[in-house]
Each structure stands twice: as C-alpha cells, then as structure tokens.
Structure 1
Amino acid sequence: MAKLQEIEKKGRAINSKFAAYMEKHLLYELFYEIAIQLMIQKPEDHIVFMKQYLQLAAKKLNISNIILIAPTSFDRIALAKVLQEELGVHPLTLKDLRNVCSQHDDGCHCKESEDLACAMRKILESEATFRESGWILVDLPRTKREAQIFQRIGIIPTHVIQLIVSNDTENSKICTDIFACYKTCDPTSTSKNMKHRPYLKNLRDLREVYGHCLIEVEVGIRSIDELGKDCAKLTKIKKHCGAPSLFRIALVGSRGSGCTTLAKYLAERFNLVHIDYDQIMEQARLQQNFLGKMLRTFEDKWGERPKPKLRIQVIEKYISEYECLKRGWVLTGYPKTVEDFKLLDLNPTPPNRVIFVEVNGDVCRERLLNRRYNFVTGSKHILSRTNYADNDDCKLTIHSRDLRLVVERDLQEYEENVTNMMQYAGESAIKIDGNEEERIVREQIEAIIMRPISSWHSRVPKPPPVIDPMNIEFDPYDEPDSRVGNGMLLVHPVILIHRASYFRNITPFAWCHI
C-alpha cells in the first residue's frame, strides 16, 4: 500500500511538471496553430507538412495579426502607424491589395472579395517581413462574406480590435469650428446616418465571425498615441485556445489590503485551495521535525524572520500536495521579497497569475489597528463597524500581530520590497486598485484571472551558466583552491602553468614524467 502511494505521488509530481512545462513553452497553442493549418491546407502527407511547418508555427506564436474595425470617420491609418511602431506589424489597406491584384493578374476571374483574399495570400507568401513581423488590416474585410473568404483561404487574425467611437469623440475629430459645421456633425443628420448605417449593419456580421478574438476598445478622449499604446498592450494578451489550465494565483499586497478576503472569495468562486502563508508557517513551527525546529530557532530571535530557503520549503510542501495540483491554488502573504519570488518561480508549478493589490498605507494601518477578535468565538470585528452598546457580552481583544509595533514593521517591510518585486515580475503581473469598493475589486480580479495565462515564464530566473574548467585561465599568484586534492590533479609547486590549455597539449608520456 505504501508503495502504491509512493508511485501515485511521483505520478502527480510528473504531471504537474508537464502541465507547467506545456504552459511555459505554449505547447497547446503550438499544436492548435498546426491543427488549424492542417485543416486549411489539407496536405496529402500531413506528417511531412507538420515537420516543415513546425518551426514557422513556433515563430507565429509571438506574432500579432490584427484586423482594425472602426467608423470611416476615424483616422485608422494614424492608429495603424502607432501600432506599427509599438508592435512592428505592417499595415495593409484596401488600396494596397488592389494594387497587387492589378500587378498579378493571373486570369482568375474571381469576384473582388476573392481577388483581395488571393492578393493577401500572395503578399504573405512573397514578403517574409509580413510573415515574421505580423500585419494589420485597416479597411477590410468589409462584410461577413468577405471575412469568411479570408478565413477559408487561411488569413486568420490573432486579434480583432473594434473601436467604439462616441458622438462627441467623432465630432471632435472632424470639426475645427463647431458652429461652422453644426449640420455636418449633428448625430441626427440624415446624410450622416445614411453613411453610418451600412457600417453598423456590417459590424454586427463581423462581430459574429470574429467573436472569438474580438476586443472592444472605447476611444474616449485619448489621443491617437495613447490609444495605440493601450491597444498594443491588449494585443500582447493571447487568446485562449481551449488549453486546460489551473489557476495558480499569487495575491501580493500589504497587510490590511484585503488580499486574504479576496483569496477566500476566489477559493470559493473557482474551487481553489487557499494557502495563507502566516497560517501554514504557524503550523510548520509546531511540527516535531527538522524544519519545525529550525523555524522555532528563528522565532526565538527577536525581529529576525526565517531565511528565504526555509520559507520556500514550507510553501513547496503545500503547493505540491494533491489538492493543489488537482484544483489550483491562491497564495497570500507570500512572496515577501524578490528572493522569495525567484525561489517560488523555480518551483515546478510556479504561479501563472500574479496580482498586486495596491492600497494606501494609511488605510491598511487604520484597518489593522481598529481590528479586534472575539477570544470566545474567534470572530473578527472592526471598531468603526461594531455597536458595543447593544452587545455587552462581546469579549474583544487585540491580536498580537495587530499591535502597533508589529503593524508598522510589516508595512515598512512591504514598502521596502514591493518595488523590486514589481520590477522582477514585469509585464507578467497585474496591478489593481484595492481602494475601490469590494464588489468592483472582485470583478476586476475575476476578469484578470479569466484571461489567458500571461507570460510568467519570462520572469523565471535562469540558473547560473556552467563553467568549463578547461576554459579558465589560472594565475600562479591566485589563492590556492580548496578543491585541489579532491579528485583533481596535484601539480608540483615548482611547475608554474599560466593557462589551462597547456594541459591539453601534454602527451600521456609527458604526464607520466610529471
């Protein structure tokens, strides 16, 4: 029985490593792309096709192919140029494709939509820059049928951006003098509505075709540069291709930021395991093993926390358990420093969603100092929200962790380390404003974790490079290496050798005489 449990445990560990490895290298997305091209191309020998297309498919995972949908009055060309600067994509317009159609007239008497699709395919086949950097279509597809023709021929976007332009924004783009052209800018103008009606009709059809990769962006009062940068950030988020994945969430915030409350909500909402660092650390201290003994040793020293390598051992013990591997988890109270963050990323199942909850320090301080616990029932109360006159039997006391000295120390520690952790996490982390209402914060976090997995692998620290001893230059005045004599060659002190390459030129006969 014990043997079977050991085999089952090893199998779970291997599966968890496989899942994290597939997420890291986007293997689901890779084979999803290959499957799409197999259905489009329908090669006779699919094995040969996959071998030849594999390298190109791997490159296409990080390439953005965008279709821009916006009213005709909006300056789409200017926005496309901003996206070209931000992402490196090359804009293509209706005029560009028509020019290609006239230059490559192969006698194919297709309709215009099919002609444009053929021209687009010829551009992608002949111009390597479009395949390697991506493209953005500005004026098309214009109708549902045209979009279906583009899809059938293999022109499939990764993102479709629909710009929502309000009447006020549209008028401000067109007019320079609102009194001189009031009739033109009036939303109730009949001529304007007649021009706008075909766009609205085609918009519904295009949204139906591209619903799986559609992104709605409201223009508002932003400039073209600001709008382009925001759209570029959205295109860096890859759409979910149906790959199975588990939520492994790290909620990072100071004490009093509400991370624990949010974690309990997420655990109930998505059936996750909530791992609270302070709670499991207290449990580990009470255990009669080597780790518990080491933790109690640090506890006896006032003001000194356990070392990062001890802290990560406690975390790894919990996130490698069966329930966490099966259901996913949400972690609070950890990491505390950037060293903790790096050690957590080296785990086989690191967090694939990192969320920083930003709350004003004064708000956190007020929440913690006004918090009381009922030592009979264990319930938690806030002084400003509790009416004690109606409940004289309420036995409230201050928790030792909510003393002012401890609170100030914890808040200061977080402020000193949060900047470095954010820099280390980079674009793989999301920041939210925790000062909003609880309902709004919950909705924001739900929207964040429901997105596809971010590029957490970009922040995983690389192991130090392996140094080849044969490439190291030795100096006779260096301090002697302590490893000499432990399986290494002992050299007579009279012999001075300046370069390790000298050893490679010594014959076996010469070695015997040395």
Structure 2
Amino acid sequence: MGTVDAIKRPLNIPLKFVPYLEKHRIYGLFCEIAKQLIIKKPLNHILYVKQCLQHAARSRDAPRIVLICPPDFDRKLLAEYLELKLGIKSIGINEVEAFNSNEEFAANVRKMLRKLYFEESGWLFIDFPRVKSEACALKSLGIIPTHVIEIIWTDFSAESTLQSTPSRYSATSTRGSHHKMRPKTPNHLHNLHDLRAVYSSVLVQIETAGRTYEELGRACITLTRRRKYRTPCCNFRVVLIGPRGSGRRSVAGYLARRYNLVCIDFDYLLAQTRMQNNKLGESLRCLTCWEIRADADVKIRIVKRRLMSADCLKKGWVLFGYPITVEDFKLLDVLTTPPNRIICIDVDEATCRERLVSRRFNVITGSEHNSSRGSEEQSNPDFAVHCKDYEIAVSQNLKEYFTNRDSLLRYASESAITVDGAVSERNVKEKVESCLSQAPSAPPRIRKPKEEITAEDIEFDPDDPTDFKIYDELRRPDSILSLV
C-alpha cells in the first residue's frame, strides 16, 4: 500500500489480518468509499463516510454493465435476457432526457439513476456511451461500470447448436444476422478504439462464433460474476481437489515453483506428525495400532498448525489430499486463513486406476516410470511398485474420493473451478495457472457459525422506553380460580 504516516514509514497490513479482509471484502469497500469521496468532495467528509457506508456496501456488489455491440446487432434482445436473469434495468439512449453537451448528457444519466435507485441495484447501458467524450463525462460524475462487454462478430461455417427446449432466445441465432451486417465505417472503428482505451481495465470481449442469444447471455452472466476483487496482497491459498493419479502432485509442485508457494501434501504431513514425540503424535500412533482412521477434528488440528506457520503466512500455500469430506471442508473454511482458490482436477476413475497400477519406481535412483502390463520394465529388478499403488489400496482410495466428490463440489459451488485432467500434463498446468491469474469466480465462502448473544451482552440505553416484560419472571403469577 502506498499510504505513509507522519514519519514517512510505509504502512503494511499484518499478514494475519489479510484473510479476514479478503473474506469480507473490506478493502474493496473502503476503495469504493474513497472513490466516492474524491468524486463528490463533501464538506464534512466524516459525516459523509458514515452515511455512505451502507450505500457503498450495496453499490460495491451491484453489476454495472456497458454493452458495446456491432451495427445491426439485436442488442435489445440480448439486454432483455440479461435484464431477466440478473435483475437489473437496461437503459437506452432514447430514455435519457434531451441534452446539448456531454456534461449535460452525463448529468441527465446520473439524475435518472438516482431517481430510480439504479445505482444500488445495478444497470445496463445498451447503446451508450457512443464516443470517448461521453464516456469521460460519465466517469467524471462517478458513473463507472464494473464490466464493459464487447460483442465481436466471428465467421464460422458451423451452424449454432440450439437447446432442446426452444425459446425466443435460443431459437434466434446470431449467425443469420451476421450475413446481413453492414460493414464498419472508419468513424465507427475510431470510436470503438477510443472506448476500448477508456474502459481498458474492465473490458472483456465475447465472440459470437455462431452462438444463439441465450448462449451469449449465459457467457455474459459468467463474466459479470467474475469481478476483480481489490485486495492488499496476492498470496495464493490453493486447494487442489482430485483423486490419486490425476496429476495433482505434479500440478502442486509446479505452482509451488512458479509462484513461490509452500507445497503441502496431506498424506506426508499426516505421516510426519505421526512420528513426532508429542501428544498428537502419540494419539495418531495409537489410532494406527488399532487400525482406526483419524477423525475430522484431529485432521484439522494437523492442517491448522501447518497453515498457521510463518512460511505459509508469508508465501501462501497449495494443499492437496485434503479436504476429504464436506465436514473437513467446513472446518477448513473456519480457519483464520481459509483457501481463496478451489481447483478440481477432473479425471475419470478408470484413467486414474490405470495410471496408478502401471506406475513403477526405480529403487536405486527414485525416478518414476510408467509401464504397461507385459512390458519389459515390469520384469526389471530395479523397478518396484509403491505400497500405495497396489490394487487394493488404489481401489480403496479411489472409492473414497469419488464417493465424496459430488458433495465437495456442491459445497464449494461457484467458488470451485473444474479443470479437465485427462489432457496432457502441460495443458493441465496451463489451465490451472490461468485459474490463478484471473479473479475468483465467486465471493469467498463464509461458514463461521453465528455467535449467540446472551442477556449479559446486551447494552441498554437509559433513554430507551421501559420494557415491562422483564418483570414477568420476577412477579408471582396470579392465581387462576375455576368457576366450575
């Protein structure tokens, strides 16, 4: 952060407070308030911040979209679909009052947004701003979009794929309108270039590629849910969900080297804790002797102690092999440093089984090899099978994972990103790295239980009216006489 105090000393946020700021998006909230302070310039800024706090919290989450479309594109049909799904109001240039200058135009737009409370609920501009001067006038008055979506025509010979359930959006393909589209004029291209420069920080482009309007609408909705969350630091806390044989170990090692993260293998961490001379290690050794698996409370104690270490707090971490069940996931979310990236490597069970059963290790060099059944490498005495790669252990591990996979993904919902792990190792690493480079696909999960408020914690104001119900338990109840 660039803020300094009176002695010119940089102000740094302690690492232990950063996850709390990320979870509740407090940094983004105060960035929104600071932006409004600079635009409005109130005389009493303290009073303005007090009154603006609740408004800034709502406007921070409201989608504000500018739609840039090519000529002859049916933008009203696409705007109608977005208005229906997102619950926002679409506004055209014909709905704005008459104006004689760009400043008057921006003032009329702001007056309309305030009058209809669109600043808090979100809005969609479908055919303006048209030129750079209009865009700059809107930004000067604080009308700043969260997303600017540009529709780009692409020519594909394949017909668009329609859904089985017909509707007025899916039955209309954008490809048919493409052949009738007028060519772009030099003036239009110049204005388009200027708008891209003004909104470069929030601009996203979507190609038609023969899609229907419904498919374009779903693509726009997916982009609007991915926002650039302002955060004081960018420490990644990644959880890789995937079965053994999906390549999760290789991906975790790659991310650790690429982003200087701490790589945490839960199975290795569990075995390391079992060998320690402390109460936790003794309890784990006792459970192993009785062939009893550690419960969720014991596992989260092991993970918590590792995640709260100094290197994990400073660098960030990538964890695989945990969580195993939804209960583990809930306990992980309650920690002070919950994960901010959930990536699922999707590989079918047959592929994982084949990879694990055919895996061999060189007992001399420790190198890993993949040999098919009946090959010469299986008869080589230097190659051996790891104890965890026997068919019984593989079947048990895969059965446990695929039993809990659907429930884990349902719990993570939109915050989890699924990556196809059946492709080459290089493609998997590139897709996972792209998931880290973009903003989270959904707000963080807040699963901490609500604290119960006791009567001793309630503060009373002497000016409050007296509540006579508090005397009901002090007075002796009146006797009830029977009339029979």
Range into which the TM-score falls when normalised by the shorter chain: 0.7 to 0.9
For residues 53 and 25 of structure 1, the distance between their equivalents in structure 2, rounded to whole angstroms, comes to 18
Instruction: Work out the number of aligned pairs and report it.
Output: 440
Q: Distance in 1 between matches of 2:419 and 2:347?
A: 9
Change (3 A) 1:168 1:387: closer
In structure 2, list runs of 5 or more residues that go unmatched.
Answer: 1-11, 161-171, 457-469, 477-484
Deviations 1:228-256 (A, max 9, x none): 12211211111243632310000000111
CA distance in 2, matches of 1:175, 1:219: 11
**2:203 maps to 1:214:** yes
* 1:325-474 to 2 correspondences below 5 Å: 325-384=313-372, 395-455=382-442, 457-463=444-450
Q: What is the CA-CA distance between 1:131 and the residue it aligns to? A: 2.1
**Which residue does 1:58 correspond to in 2?**
57
CA contact (8 A) 1:428 1:459 kept: no
Alignment partner of 2:61: what SS? Answer: coil
Structure 2 distance, partners of 1:388, 1:174, is 55
SS at match of 1:354: strand
Residues 200 and 211 of structure 1, relative CA distance in 2, 3 Å threshold = same
**Could you tell me which residue of structure 1 aligns to residue 307 of structure 2?**
319
Task: Tell me: CA distance 1:54–1:468, structure 2 relative to 1, closer, same or farther (3 Å).
Answer: closer
| Aligned-partner Cα distance in 2 for 1:74–1:399 | 60
Aligned partner of residue 264 in structure 2, secondary structure? strand
Counterpart position of 2:44: 45
Question: Match for residue 504 of structure 1?
Answer: 473
> What's the counterpart of residue 245 of structure 1?
234
Report whether the alignment pairs 1:289 with 2:278.
yes
Corresponding residue for 2:104? 115
- 262-271 vs 82-91, greater mean Cα deviation: 82-91
2:122 paired with 1:101: no
Q: Aligned equivalents of 1:299 and 1:72: distance in 2?
A: 70
Identity of aligned residues (%): 40
Note the C-alpha offset of 1:356: 0.9
1:390-421, Cα deviation, whole Å (9 max, x unpaired): x9987111111101000000000011101111
Residue 84 (structure 1) shift: 1.1
Which residue of structure 2 lines up, in the alignment, with residue 298 of structure 1?
287
Q: Secondary structure at the match of 1:215?
A: strand
**Paired amino acid for 1:504:** E
SS in 2 for 1:414: helix
Counterpart position of 2:179? 185
Partners of 1:298 and 1:305 within 8 A in 2: yes
In the TM superposition, what is the alpha-carbon distance from 1:328 to its structure 2 partner? 0.3
Deviation at 1:119, TM superposition (A): 1.3
Whichever of the two has the greater Rg, that structure is 1
SS of 2:344's equivalent in the other structure is: strand
Q: Deviations over 1:1-60 (max 9, x none)?
A: xxxxxxxxxxx9x94441111111111111111121122112223222222211110111
Alignment of 1:123-202 (within 5 A): 123-128=112-117, 130-168=118-156, 173=174, 175=176, 185=179, 192-193=182-183, 195-202=184-191
**2:68·2:126 contact (CA, 8 Å) conserved in 1?**
yes
Higher helix share: 1
Q: In 2, Cα distance between the equivalents of 1:101 and 1:86?
A: 30
Return the letter of the residue paired with 1:421: L
Shift of 1:387: 8.6
Q: Structure 1 CA distance, aligned partners of 2:95 and 2:221?
A: 23
Q: 1:441 to 1:134 in 2, by over 3 A?
A: same
Using a 3 Å threshold, how does the CA distance of structure 1 residues 49 and 410 change in structure 2: closer, same or farther?
Answer: same
Instruction: Provide the C-alpha distance between the structure 2 equivalents of 1:53 and 1:206, rounded to a whole number of angstroms.
Output: 30
Report the counterpart of residue 218 of structure 2 in structure 1: 229
Partner of 2:78: 79
| 8 A Cα contact 1:370 1:383, kept in partner | yes
Separation in 2, partners of 1:35, 1:502: 48
In structure 2, relative to structure 1, the CA distance for the partners of 1:376 and 1:315 (3 Å cut) is same
User: Are 2:25 and 2:229, in contact at CA under 8 Å, matched by a contact in 1?
Assistant: no
How far off is 1:286 after superposition?
Answer: 0.7
Query: Quick check: 1:271–1:327 contact (8 Å CA) kept in 2?
Result: yes
Q: For residues 199 and 446 of structure 1, what CA distance do their matches in structure 2 show?
A: 37
State the alpha-carbon separation in 2 of the partners of residues 54 and 468 from structure 1: 29
Q: What residue is the counterpart of 2:259 in the other structure?
A: 270
Query: Aligned-pair distance for 1:456?
Result: 5.1
The answer (yes or no) to whether the contact 1:341–1:421 under 8 Å persists in 2 is yes
- Aligned with 1:409: secondary structure? helix
Q: Distance in 2 between matches of 1:295 and 1:348?
A: 25
Distance change in 2, residues 1:230/1:385 (3 Å): farther
Give the TM-score normalised by the residue count of structure 1.
Answer: 0.79
Q: 2:258 & 2:272 partners in 1: Cα distance?
A: 26
CA-to-aligned-CA distance 1:77-133 (integer Å, 9 cap, x gap):
111111112211110011111xx237xxxxxxx42x3332121111112112x1221
* 1:430 partner letter: I
Matching residue's letter, 1:438: E
1:388–1:394 Cα contact (<8 Å) kept: no
Structure 1's 420 and 392: CA in aligned 2 closer, same or farther, altered over 3 A?
Answer: closer
Q: CA deviation at 1:267?
A: 0.5
- 1:291–1:463: structure 2 CA closer, same or farther, 3 Å change rule? farther
2:88 aligns to what? 89
Q: Give 3-state SS (helix, strand or coil) of 2:445's partner.
A: helix
**Residues 461-485 of structure 1: per-residue CA shift (max 9 Å, x gap):** 525756889xxxxxxxxxxxxxxxx
Deviation for aligned residue 1:64: 0.4
Task: Decide whether aligned partners of structure 1 residues 244 and 75 sit closer, same or farther in structure 2, where only a CA change above 3 A counts.
Answer: same
Counterpart CA distance in 1 for 2:327 and 2:19 is: 21
Instruction: Give the aligned partner of residue 31 of structure 1.
Output: 30
The CA distance in 2 between the partners of 1:207 and 1:173, in whole Å, is: 23
**Mean Cα displacement is larger for which, 414-423 or 141-150?**
141-150
Alpha-carbon offset, residue 355 of structure 1:
0.8
- Aligned pair in 2 of structure 1 residues 376, 242: CA closer, same or farther (>3 Å)? same
